[in-house]
Amino acid sequence: MVALLQQFGYDIVRLLVTVVDYAYYILFGAIIASILFSWFPGYPSSTIMQGVYDAVRAVANPILMPIRSRVPMLQLGGFGIDLSPIIAIFGLSIARQLLKIIIEQFIGPITG
The pLDDT tens digits of the residues spanning 25-63 come to: 999 999 999 999 888 777 777 888 888 888 999 999 999
What angle do helix axes 47-70 and 84-102 make, rounded to 10 degrees? Answer: 90
Under 8 Å between Cβ of 37 and 56: yes
In angstroms, rounded to a whole number, what is the distance separating the alpha carbons of residues 37 and 86? Answer: 16
Q: Which residues does 112 contact at the CB level (< 8 Å), separation at least 6?
A: 6
pLDDT digits (tens, 9 = 90+) for 55-106: 999 999 999 999 999 998 888 888 888 899 999 999 999 999 999 999 999 8
